[in-house]
Structure 1
Amino acid sequence: MEEESLNGVDKVFELTVVTGGIDERIVFAEVNMVDRVDLLVNINIVRHIKSKVDKFDEIIQLSSKLSNPLLLESMLPTVISYFDAAILDTIREYVYARSFEIYDFMIEEQNNELLSKINKEELKKVEFKDCLIDQFLKDAEKQGITGKLLKLKKLFKIEFDLGNETWESIVESIARRNCLIHNDLIANTTYFRQAGKKEDNIEPGKRLVISSSYLVEHINFIKKLLLEIKEKIEIQFAQNTNVSVLKNLWDYLFENGYPLIFNNCWKIEGNYIKYIGPKLNDLCDATSPRIICLFTVWMTFFNSYRFPDVKYFADMFYISNEERETYSRKLKTLIDCFEKVSFQNFNVVVYDKI
């Protein structure tokens, strides 16, 4: 892939895609490719880890009451799947909240194989930057647990040890899960290769055991690692609160300020943020129809049926090509944000329509 700059265009990308077995060079010109609004919320980013740790506690309680080998064996794949999901869902949360970092990451990697995997037909259906995000996540999904953890470390810029005894025990439990699924727990060369240093005292050709004590011990190893990751994420992103994210989004939408200056429009009361700014009728006389459109989308989302004024949407398109692109992109960012970022615990209060 080659990259260059042109007047009026932020970046030009040329890459090879495969269509019907034939390599084809395609050039993409992206104007204002990245909208750098940070939507990462500290409570959102760790919610997947917390959810899976809670499930692990339930499994520990349940497994301690079981003696049936078949039931105990069936729990190990579930445990490893939850572990994998906790990591992948945390990566997804980060990607959706800070997509601009993914654009930079993939574009700056001049020889990144991910770009060559993008199918031409997909590029016709969605924007180029959406293709980058989709391809990044597809690649993450295909990674094993170790690969996902390494990707998480790089994205979040945190450190945790994947070489200590806790990790070695986790690796062995993953290998035992694979052996259960693919070889009915009969220890073979694949198991010994995957299990690493923690396969001591296990004889080749013998059937491995998944006991209640084994499950509890290895679940606790996984919990220990996940809780370490959770703690470091919470420290790293302590400043990314609900309020800061709403301010980021608000300032991005209404970057020109008056009359929608964040500090003049919102009052912070503990865990609540209350809208105290001008009402719709006042705004109609003070700002453009495009701003009104974005404002009504925001209020419709946070105030549900009590603010259903969508009549201004048509004004979004009766503007110049340049303005249409700017405001359409902002509208798309806002809709994507509502779709991909959880606002369930944001405690946002807005006025009644009347």
Structure 2
Amino acid sequence: MNKPILLLREELLNPIEQALTRIEKIRKRKINNSDSIILEGLFALGVSSFEHALIDTLRTLFLHIPDKLDLKTEVINKDQLINGIPLNHAIENKVNGVSYKNISDILEYFASKTGINSNLVSKDEIDRLLELKATRNLLIHNNLIVNSIYDETAGPNKRNSGDRLTISQNYLFESIVVLRNILNKFKVALEDKYKTFTKINATKNLFNYIFTTPIMDFENEFNLFEDQDRIGAMKTETSQIGNLSSSETLLFKMWLAHSHNKKFDFKDEYFFRLDNKNRGKLAFLIKKIDLLKP
């Protein structure tokens, strides 16, 4: 049985939520600032927050659904293969590679991998993003002094402001409006696309992977509150815990210790009794145990 998908919608949305919160803080701070250094710093933070929101969302997606990685992903070195976790290294290499693409390619890749509409961002918004990123790069690498790289990458919205660009309050405000609007579009689209990726469904997927015996049914073991996306108390009247094998009883006791604060005494259990298949399940359960937090 393939390992289950345990992605939570809120976890996928978290990078975008964080970026939107940070951009809102930038909006509030720019009102009381006219210092060019502060405005430049807020601008750079806003653009970086936008970019990291997309890359961090992709990282989260790949970690939970590695099948979405490209057929031929980034190369990992021998040390990463032997001493690390190859999948994690492959994901890091992939998202780092994506982060160096131009903004149009990043948006296209983001849409294709998340499965959202690739036409959410208008051409005008892409053109404005091109100029924002070019200005950010110019700020970081050339003190806002216009050079050929800016001229080549800023797109049709290239600013012609003499030898050195400025980050004014108005420019900063217009920038964060663009960044905020695009992120909100992505947020709404992802909320809809991944609406079934709830805590209940993820926990059920994990349950069905750990307990493969036909007598175990998730809905018969726990009270479920779909409207709250919450798992309640055990259903003692329909629970099949008393009919499990010794191996699955051990696994279920560990499950309940973390999900329902039930007593679990290691001294009464013997892990060597587990066969290789159940040892693998135990290792996976421990790795994903945070999902069971109430």
TM-score (norm 2): 0.86
Name the residue aligned to 2:138: 179
Q: Is 1:198–2:157 an aligned residue pair? A: yes
Q: Is 1:318–2:273 an aligned residue pair? A: yes
* In 2, Cα distance between equivalents of 1:151 and 1:290: 44
Aligned with residue 71 of structure 1, among 21, 29, 38? 38
Name the residue aligned to 2:114: 156
Q: Is 1:87–2:42 an aligned residue pair? A: no
* In 2, Cα distance between equivalents of 1:36 and 1:113: 20
**1:69 CA drift (Å):** 1.0
Is the alpha carbon distance of 1:76 and 1:53 closer, same or farther for their aligned partners in structure 2, counting shifts above 3 Å?
same
Aligned with residue 244 of structure 1, among 189, 193, 201? 201
Aligned with residue 91 of structure 2, among 130, 136, 158? 136
SS of the residue 2:131 aligns to: helix
* Match runs of 1:253-264 below 5 Å: 253-258=210-215, 260-264=216-220
Q: Which has the higher contact order (CA 8 A, sep 6+)?
A: 2
Is the alpha carbon distance of 1:268 and 1:113 closer, same or farther for their aligned partners in structure 2, counting shifts above 3 Å?
closer
Aligned with residue 274 of structure 1, among 232, 244, 249? 232
> Greater share of helix residues, 1 or 2?
2
* In 2, Cα distance between equivalents of 1:313 and 1:154: 47
Name the residue aligned to 1:26: none
Could you give the per-residue CA deviations for residues 267-287 of structure 1, whole angstroms, max 9, x where no partner exists?
Answer: 1234132132459xx83x532
Whichever residue aligns with residue 192 of structure 1, its letter is D
Q: Any conservation in 1 of the 2:30–2:169 contact (CA below 8 Å)?
A: yes
Q: Any conservation in 1 of the 2:146–2:164 contact (CA below 8 Å)?
A: yes
SS of the residue 1:202 aligns to: coil
**1:163 CA drift (Å):** 5.8
**1:296 CA drift (Å):** 3.0
* In 1, Cα distance between equivalents of 2:10 and 2:155: 36
* Match runs of 1:1-354 below 5 Å: 35-99=2-66, 101-102=67-68, 105-106=69-70, 109=71, 112=72, 114=74, 117-126=75-84, 130-142=85-97, 143-144=99-100, 146=103, 147-161=105-119, 164-203=123-162, 206-258=163-215, 260-269=216-225, 270-271=227-228, 272-278=230-236, 283=241, 286-303=243-260, 307-311=263-267, 314-315=270-271, 317-319=272-274, 323-324=275-276, 326-338=277-289, 348=294
Could you give the per-residue CA deviations for residues 297-341 of structure 1, whole angstroms, max 9, x where no partner exists?
Answer: 32233345x5343346643x335xxx41x22332233233236x6
Q: Any conservation in 2 of the 1:140–1:148 contact (CA below 8 Å)?
A: no
Is the alpha carbon distance of 1:155 and 1:311 closer, same or farther for their aligned partners in structure 2, counting shifts above 3 Å?
farther
Could you give the per-residue CA deviations for residues 203-258 of structure 1, whole angstroms, max 9, x where no partner exists?
Answer: 4xx11010111111111101111111111111111122221111111111112132
**1:148 CA drift (Å):** 4.2
Q: Any conservation in 2 of the 1:296–1:309 contact (CA below 8 Å)?
A: no
Is the alpha carbon distance of 1:215 and 1:314 closer, same or farther for their aligned partners in structure 2, counting shifts above 3 Å?
farther
Is the alpha carbon distance of 1:310 and 1:267 closer, same or farther for their aligned partners in structure 2, counting shifts above 3 Å?
same
Report percent identity of matched pairs.
23
* In 2, Cα distance between equivalents of 1:150 and 1:199: 22
* In 2, Cα distance between equivalents of 1:118 and 1:310: 39
> Greater share of strand residues, 1 or 2?
1
TM-score (norm 1): 0.73
Whichever residue aligns with residue 190 of structure 1, its letter is I
Is the alpha carbon distance of 1:132 and 1:318 closer, same or farther for their aligned partners in structure 2, counting shifts above 3 Å?
same
Name the residue aligned to 1:22: none
* In 1, Cα distance between equivalents of 2:197 and 2:284: 19
Question: CA RMSD of the aligned region, Å?
Answer: 2.6
Q: Any conservation in 1 of the 2:247–2:273 contact (CA below 8 Å)?
A: no
Whichever residue aligns with residue 65 of structure 2, its letter is R
Whichever residue aligns with residue 39 of structure 2, its letter is L
**1:118 CA drift (Å):** 1.9
Whichever residue aligns with residue 218 of structure 2, its letter is F
**1:95 CA drift (Å):** 2.0
89-98 or 55-64: which moved more? 89-98
* In 2, Cα distance between equivalents of 1:180 and 1:202: 14
Q: Any conservation in 1 of the 2:8–2:197 contact (CA below 8 Å)?
A: yes
* In 2, Cα distance between equivalents of 1:226 and 1:152: 12
Structure 1 unaligned regions, length at least 5: 1-31, 349-354
SS of the residue 2:288 aligns to: helix
